[in-house]
Structure 1
Amino acid sequence: MSKLFKTVASSRTSIAELMQPSHSNFGGKIHGGYLLNLMDQIAFACAAKHSKHYCVTASVDTVNFLEPIEIGEIVTLKASINYVGNTSMVVGIRVEAENIKTGHIKHCNSSYFTMVAKDETGKSATVPGLILSSEEEIRRFLHALERNKAKRQNKKEFQSKDFVLENYLNELQKHNIKIAL
C-alpha cells in the first residue's frame, strides 16, 4: 500500500464570528479564553479534515495576544497544517479582527496547536503525509521542525536528573528574583 499525501490547501479551514458582549471580559475586550476555545475548534476541524480521524489537542504553543479584540468586530480564524509526523499534526492558526464600520483588519493572534489523530479504539492513528507546494509552506514546515527540536532540547535540559543549578546561577542573577534555598 502506498503512502497517502495531501496538500496543505486540502485541509485549510477558516471561520468567522461576530464578537458579542457575552464574549467579553471585565475590561470590555473579548476574553482570551473564548478566543482559545475558537482556536481549539478550528485546529480540530483542520486536523480532522487532513487526517479523516477524530483528533485531540496534544499541546498549544506560542499563544501571543497581539491586539485586543472589541465587541462588534468580526473575528476570522484561518488554519492550515504546517507539519505532520506519523500520528500528529501542527496546525498553524492566524486570528484577525475586522472593524465592520471602518473595514480595518488587525492581526490579533498566531498560534500553533499540535493535534493527534485517534482511531475508533482511541489509539493514535497514522496521518497522511504533507505535500508542500510553496516556499511559504516549506518555511512553515521548517519552523515547526525547529520548534519541536527546541522543545525536545528544553525538556532534555531541564527535566534531566543531570540538571546542575550552579550552571545557571550567573544567568539567574540578571533577573528580578531572589533565591532562598
Structure 2
Amino acid sequence: MSLSPDTRGPWFLADHGALDFINTVAQAGGQPHDFWQSDEDVRAWLVQAGLSTGAGAEGAPGELLHEARQLRDTVRALVAAKKAGDPVDVTPLNRALTAAGGCNQLVAGESGVLHITRVYAGHAPAQQLGPVAELAASLLADAHFERVRECEHPACSLWFYDTTKAHRRRWCSMALCGNRAKVARFRRQQK
C-alpha cells in the first residue's frame, strides 16, 4: 500500500504474525518506508503483535533494531524465494532460531490448568525476537504456503496469508488497496 504522510502504522492485516513482521516496511511515495526507527519501535511492535517475551532490554542501544531489521530481511527473502519456487537457504533463519535459545515448559495457569509455554533464557535481542523467528519457520513449513500472497496493487509491497473461505483474496486490505483498485477500474470505465 502506498502511504500518505498522515498514515499510521505498521498495520496488522496479514493474518499471520511473520508476514506482519515483514510488512513493517511499506511503500511511501514509491520508496520503502521503515516503521522501525528505534529499539523502542521494535519492542512496541512485539507487544502489539502479542509476541513479546516480557523480557527487559539487554544489549547496546540500537542492537534490537539492527537484529530485527536483519531478521525481517531474512524472512522477506525466504518468503519471496519460496513463493517464486526458488531454492530456499534456511541457514540464516536457523541461526536466528538457535540464537533465540527457547524451550517449552509446562506451566500451571491460575485455575490449575496446565499448558505449554515457550520461554527464553535471556533478554538479548535474539531472545526477544525468538517468537518471530519461530513464526517465520512455521510459515515456511506450512503445508498451505500457496495461501501466502503479495498484494496485487502495483504500488503495494505488503504480504498476507489468505484465510478467506474461497482463498481468492487479492489485496493486503480491501479497505485500502482493494478500494483503490475498484475506484481506478470505475474511472477507467467512465472514460
User: Normalising by the residue count of structure 1, what TM-score does the alignment of the two structures yield?
Assistant: 0.27
Q: Which of these two proteins has the greater Rg computed from alpha carbons?
A: 1
User: Normalising by the residue count of structure 2, what TM-score does the alignment of the two structures yield?
Assistant: 0.26
Please state which structure has a larger fraction of its residues in helix: 2
Please state which structure has a larger fraction of its residues in strand: 1
